[in-house]
Amino acid sequence: MATAAISAGASILGGIAGGKGASKAAKIQAAAYQKGIDEQSREFGITQQNEAPYLSAGNSGLTAYLNLLGLGTGGATGQQSAIDQLKTSPLFTSLMSNGTDSILANAAATGGLRGGNTQDALSRLGTDTLSSVIQNQLSNYGSLINTGQAAVAGQATAGQNYANAVSNLYGQQGSAQATAAAAPYAAAQGIFNQLGGNSSGLAKAFGW
């Protein structure tokens, strides 16, 4: 009878210890998954920070592009403002100065300084130069827009990867937490099952 009681006691203690061990292991596992989630969040935050300047450049380029085409929020007024800014830009003024000097130098060398051809060339210089500067600027804005689009695509990919990874980790964490919560009950069930076969002997051992 004493042997049965000792055996039953050992089963109970073993079951309790096993339940606590399983619960502790599951909690450690859940904590490890949380570290993985935190790391994924940190990496995604870094990606967003790294992409932010390119996204900002793309947004600025798109705004300027639309304004120069007259399609921005300011409409025709915004377009005129954008063109006026180009006319005062270092690029435009430098091209105009160099072009004017070249035309006048050529006219002086050929004796046609006051001729109609020289005046016509000077007149067309302003129009042609402005058109060239506008096209060049639109191309530059287009490059910025492409940069912004690439940044958006990069963030979208990173965001999807982040969502997939974190969702997977949350699922595993939930499973570990469920295991931790269920461990004491599973241990208790195991104890009851072990004692069930020895219930008669255990009752006699304790004088029940």
DSSP 80-104: HHHHHHHHTSHHHHHHHHHHHHHHH
User: pLDDT tens digits for 71-89?
Assistant: 999 999 999 999 999 999 9
Least confidently predicted of 27-36, 99-108, 132-141, 163-172: 27-36
Q: How many CA atoms lie within 13 A of 167 on its CB side?
A: 6
Helix (H, G, I), strand (E, B) or coil at 69: coil
**Average pLDDT score over residue span 90-112:** 88
Lowest mean pLDDT among 21-25, 107-111, 141-145, 173-177: 21-25
Residue 134: HSE in the Cβ half-sphere, 13 Å Cα cutoff: 18
Q: Are 72 and 87 in contact (CB under 8 A)?
A: no
What would the mean pLDDT of 162-182 be, rounded to a whole number?
Answer: 82
| Statement: residue 104 has pLDDT above 60 | yes
User: What does the pLDDT read at residue 10?
Assistant: 45
Q: What is residue 5's predicted lDDT score, i.e. its pLDDT?
A: 44
Least confident of 1-10, 82-91, 165-174: 1-10
